[in-house]
Amino acid sequence: MEGNTDNGFTLIEISIVLVIIGLLIGGIMVGMDLIESAKIRSQIKQIETYRTAVNTFRTKYDCLPGDCASASQLGFLPRGQYAGEGDGNGILEGVDQDNPGFNKGTIISTGENAIFWQDLGTSLLLPALGIVGTLPPQATSVYGLAVTGSALNSYFPVSSIGSNSFISTYSHNSINYFSLSAITGIFWSTPVAAAPSLSVTQAMMIDTKLDDGLPQSGMVTAQYNGAYIGGCCNSIHWAAGGGSDGASDTSATIGSSTTCYDNSAGGTGTPGIAGNAQHYSMEISKGSNVNCALSFRFQ
């Protein structure tokens, strides 16, 4: 019929629109990858900066921050005379509340991990930290959380990667570590109540760039100072099912939405192979699940 016109899009017009949409999506994805890569680089730089500061501190003062036996003579807050109070043994420790020398309500009750960052700030090696270090006085002998919520920012550096993560310190088997994890609270003696805060991809990228890319070996491992047990001691947890207290996990670990690593052949529900080395669970949701935390050995 005369006068009728076809108002639909031609194939060429549709193709052009699809190409533009594809370019926009591709650009967004590339941009997201660049942002994530920048966050990883920034996080690595932060850890390396802290490692350098600790090594410089140790060279200058012949002790680790928080662990100096002659702290007051060096210009730092005075310490106590018991284990975990600045005993100069080269190991960052909390204070054992079962120790008869434990002195509640003083600098002693913070332990070496809690005063670590304040010593670094006082030394001017990391002057921008603004860390308090000393915890509120403990009123009773009952174990409990002294600091929670936004107050945690006064005790630990916020991580460069974000995600409610902090950088803390702990020791296990006489080895000192930085820990990158979420922290929900601090007991009086040592940083605890930590939890995974990294995606599997983030953990693997950091581990690969700094170490061997494997979650249970080398200088970077998928473990964290997780839960409080007994009087003083850190409870070290691997950031996946199985394995605790620093013991490597070679059991048959099945990859899942709640694991940071597994030793299966790949894919959700695939049986793990006992004895095989664990690897980051990148096959699960392309590594997007937030199941990981990392520890970095002091150098």
pLDDT score recorded for residue 120 = 87
The mean-pLDDT minimum among 21-25, 208-212, 262-266 falls in: 21-25
What would the two tokens of residue 268 be? 């959700």
Q: Find, among 83, 195, 76, 82, the residue nearest to 131 by Cα.
A: 76
Task: State the average pLDDT for the chain.
Answer: 76
d(CA 10, CA 31): 32
142 backbone φψ class: left, alpha, beta (φ>0; ψ -120 to 50): beta
| Tens of pLDDT, residues 234-267 | 445 555 444 444 456 677 888 888 888 888 887 7
Residue pair 199/290 in contact (Cβ under 8 Å)? The answer is yes
> Helix, strand, or coil here: 223?
strand
pTM of the entire predicted model: 0.79
d(CA 211, CA 178): 15
Residue with tokens 């850190």: 234
Top-ranked range on mean pLDDT: pick from 61-70, 74-83, 154-163: 61-70
Query: Predicted confidence band at 129 (pLDDT cuts at 50, 70, 90)?
Result: low
> In 93-157, where does DSSP find H-type helix?
111-122
Residue with tokens 């409990």: 144
Q: Let me know if 95 is exposed, middle or buried by CB neighbors in 10 A (0-12, 13-18, 19+).
A: buried
Q: Find, among 126, 198, 139, 138, the residue nearest to 166 by Cα.
A: 198
The mean-pLDDT minimum among 72-81, 88-97, 237-246, 277-286 falls in: 237-246
Strand partners, 235: 227
| Tens of pLDDT, residues 188-204 | 555 566 888 999 999 99
What would the two tokens of residue 167 be? 């950088």
